[in-house]
Amino acid sequence: MPLFNTLPAPLLLALAPLLLTAAMPSTAADTDALRSAVQSHISEHGGEILGDFRELLSMPNVSTVTEDMQKNAQWISQYIGERGFTSKIVSAGGAPYILAERKTPNAKKTVLIYAHYDGQPVEPANWDTPPFEPTLKNAAETLDWDEARKQAIDPEWRVYARSAGDDKAPVIALMHAIDAMDSAGLNASVNVKLILDGEEEFGSPTVEDILKEHADYLSADVLLFCDGPMHQSGLRQLVFGVRGDMGVNLTMYGPSRPLHSGHYGNWAPHPTDALMRLLATMKDMDGNIQVAGYLDEVTPISEAEQVAIAAIPSVDAQLQDELSLGRVEGGGKRIELTIMQPAINIVGFQAGGVDDQARNIIMSKARASLDLRLVPVQTIEHVRKTLEDHFTNQGFYVTHDEPTAEVLRAHPGVIKVDWTSGYPAYRSSLDGEAAQRLTRILTDYDGTAPLLTPTLGGSLPVHLFDQELDMPIVLLPIANHDNNQHGRNENMRLGNLLSAIGVYAAVLQNFGLD
């Protein structure tokens, strides 16, 4: 198979130094056998794959609802137990984590796989179909699950449900990868360990304690983070970093009771006006952060990272068209470069009702929630300080407590700042031994090299795994880029789910080979 001839020149160039030192591959015959085993399994057990995915997605999984999370954890333990995993459900005071292990006789290496089974909160009213009643659709219509299970799965079908794309699919794909190999009598070359996070969407507040307590149990040769979307080009990517993430809730104060906007409008200030004006000072129209000192800790993009990004096909024009965007931020920089900078996202602004819910009042409070994306080596402390200093410099009194009437009277503007949990970014170099090994395996299996992406724009608490576990970390996303992660109508393209079965199988088959 003339593999490398199918790659465009820039990619070949980028890969060249890596391939020179890569681990020995499995034979072409082994790869063919694996592909064939996976294809057979999908053909024969497509209905089962659909059914398993549907069942897992039908369980609500907002991290703070303990009973729901326990139900999910029990289901997953049972499900992986049927494939020979021993597991334990552990907690460090937060939502449960599932730790699991499946030993392979004589394996010399161990792969630890991370995924999370909790999902973002939902606003069901915004969804076309209920977020916890998984719905199967083709481009045109909703499909009947029972009918669909009798047919071959069309890769363009999608399943709509919370966590379909983020991040319940890896469990299903990995177990079917194992089933496919077992059925065909193909051996894994590695022990497999799992850490399945039940609180990722809330910032994994207790993961550090979990890792400290179970570090021995989790020891491995590589940590594969199975989360996030594939590149917008549809190409598979290995990813070497994530942005950090912090949250902050802001409350701006107006009159101590709601006032009639006719009787008091242009005498009593609206808290909405003040909050809008303040938030607008944080960035310019191009998204450039204007907060003094905020960028002091930002690490410049390395030359190797620039080269890797240059080798990635540009998707900006395609994305802008797909998303109906008349403009983008970043001053002409491609998306892979803009996400290597910090982002200040105003993800929520709530003050009074709109449309039919509008009431003619001057409110007592206006509220906003910010999502702050960090890059190396920004620290939580510096971000907090520079942002609060910015509010102060704009003339507002910053408090962390509900202000008293005396405080409100004494200052022309008062803002309450409530920081939620957060963590810094993580970025590693592109040419470690495990990275090269994975690059080789994916190139061999896919027939084309994966993209090497310095960072995801999204966040995972990777830095804690780096801090607590002694192993290289690489991200291997499987979801379609347009999975509506975190929003309404989240979905998984089934072609991505099926493709992941093969990729996981390739890793299991080959990562432990010398």
296 CB-contact burial (10 Å; exposed 0-12 / middle 13-18 / buried 19+): exposed
Q: Give yes or no for residue 453 binding a copy of itself (CB under 8 A).
A: no
- Interface residues for a copy of itself in 462-481 (CB under 8 A)? 481
DSSP string covering 258-278, please?
A: -EETTTSTTTSPPHHHHHHHH
DSSP string covering 188-253, please?
A: PSEEEEEEEES-GGGT-TTHHHHHHHTTTTT--SEEEE--SBPPTTS--EEE-EEBEEEEEEEEEE
- Interface residues for a copy of itself in 372-401 (CB under 8 A)? 373
Among 129, 233, 320, 399, binds a copy of itself (CB under 8 A): 320
Q: Which residues have a Cβ under 8 Å from the Cβ of 342 and sit 6 or more positions away?
A: 243, 289, 294, 295, 298, 372, 373, 374, 375, 378
Rounded-to-integer distance, Cα 273 and Cα 482, Å? 35
Closer residue to a copy of itself (CB): 189 or 251:
251
Of 25-33, 66-74, 187-195, 249-257, the window that binds a copy of itself (rule: CB under 8 A) is 249-257
Closer residue to a copy of itself (CB): 85 or 127:
127
Among 459, 499, 509, 510, binds a copy of itself (CB under 8 A): 459
Q: Tell me the closest approach of the beta carbon of residue 39 to a copy of itself, in angstroms.
A: 31
Of 7-15, 188-196, 365-373, 493-501, the window that binds a copy of itself (rule: CB under 8 A) is 365-373
Closer residue to a copy of itself (CB): 292 or 410:
410
Q: Give yes or no for residue 485 binding a copy of itself (CB under 8 A).
A: yes
Q: Tell me the closest approach of the beta carbon of residue 506 to a copy of itself, in angstroms.
A: 25
The sign of the dihedral angle between the CA atoms of 3, 4, 5, 10 is positive
Q: Tell me the closest approach of the beta carbon of residue 145 to a copy of itself, in angstroms.
A: 24
Own/partner pairs, 5-10, CB within 8 angstroms, 24+ separation: 6/447, 6/448, 7/448, 7/449, 10/310, 10/311
Among 106, 139, 257, 296, binds a copy of itself (CB under 8 A): 257
Task: State CA 490 to chain mean position distance.
Answer: 13
Residue 213: count other Cβ atoms within 10 Å of its Cβ. Answer: 14
Two structure tokens written together for 190? 């590695």
Tell me the per-residue interface mask from 89 to 118 with a copy of itself, x by CB under 8 A, - otherwise: ------------------------------
Closer residue to a copy of itself (CB): 88 or 359:
359
Taking CA atoms, 359 is separated from 256, 260, 273, 352, 362, in Å, by: 17, 9, 16, 7, 9
Size of residue set near a copy of itself by CB under 8 A: 101
Of 40-48, 283-291, 384-392, 428-436, the window that binds a copy of itself (rule: CB under 8 A) is 283-291
- The answer to whether 421 and 461 have CB atoms below 8 angstroms apart is no
Q: Give yes or no for residue 327 binding a copy of itself (CB under 8 A).
A: yes
Query: Within 13 Å and on the Cβ side, how many CA atoms surround 174?
Result: 35
Q: Tell me the closest approach of the beta carbon of residue 264 to a copy of itself, in angstroms.
A: 6
Q: Identify whether 167 is preceded by a cis peptide bond (ω within 30 of 0).
A: yes
- The answer to whether 420 and 249 have CB atoms below 8 angstroms apart is yes
Rounded-to-integer distance, Cα 198 and Cα 424, Å? 20
Phi and psi, residue 452, nearest 5° = -110, 105
Of 75-83, 146-154, 259-267, 445-453, the window that binds a copy of itself (rule: CB under 8 A) is 259-267
Of 206-214, 263-271, 297-305, 439-447, the window that binds a copy of itself (rule: CB under 8 A) is 263-271
Among 110, 489, 509, 510, binds a copy of itself (CB under 8 A): 489
Among 63, 77, 272, 453, binds a copy of itself (CB under 8 A): 272
Map tokens 């992406």 to a residue.
Answer: 453
Q: Give yes or no for residue 287 binding a copy of itself (CB under 8 A).
A: yes
Q: Give yes or no for residue 313 binding a copy of itself (CB under 8 A).
A: no
The H or E element spanning position 96 is: none
Of 136-144, 233-241, 482-490, 496-504, the window that binds a copy of itself (rule: CB under 8 A) is 482-490
Q: Give yes or no for residue 325 binding a copy of itself (CB under 8 A).
A: yes
Rounded-to-integer distance, Cα 185 and Cα 180, Å? 9
Rounded-to-integer distance, Cα 115 and Cα 102, Å? 16
Q: Give yes or no for residue 321 binding a copy of itself (CB under 8 A).
A: yes
Q: Give yes or no for residue 299 binding a copy of itself (CB under 8 A).
A: no
Query: Within 13 Å and on the Cβ side, how many CA atoms surround 151?
Result: 10
Closer residue to a copy of itself (CB): 194 or 248:
248
Q: Give yes or no for residue 276 binding a copy of itself (CB under 8 A).
A: yes
- Interface residues for a copy of itself in 399-418 (CB under 8 A)? 405, 408-414
Closer residue to a copy of itself (CB): 335 or 441:
335
DSSP string covering 451-478, please?
A: EEES--SSB--HHHHHHHS-S-EEE---
Residue 13: count other Cβ atoms within 10 Å of its Cβ. Answer: 13
Among 484, 499, 509, 510, binds a copy of itself (CB under 8 A): 484
Q: Give yes or no for residue 269 binding a copy of itself (CB under 8 A).
A: yes
Rounded-to-integer distance, Cα 264 and Cα 261, Å? 5
Q: Give yes or no for residue 186 binding a copy of itself (CB under 8 A).
A: no
Of 101-109, 136-144, 168-176, 248-256, the window that binds a copy of itself (rule: CB under 8 A) is 248-256
Q: Give yes or no for residue 135 binding a copy of itself (CB under 8 A).
A: no
Q: Tell me the closest approach of the beta carbon of residue 391 to a copy of itself, in angstroms.
A: 15
Closer residue to a copy of itself (CB): 212 or 359:
359
For strand 135-137 and strand 142-143, is the pairing parallel, antiparallel, or unpaired?
antiparallel
Q: Tell me the closest approach of the beta carbon of residue 199 to a copy of itself, in angstroms.
A: 14
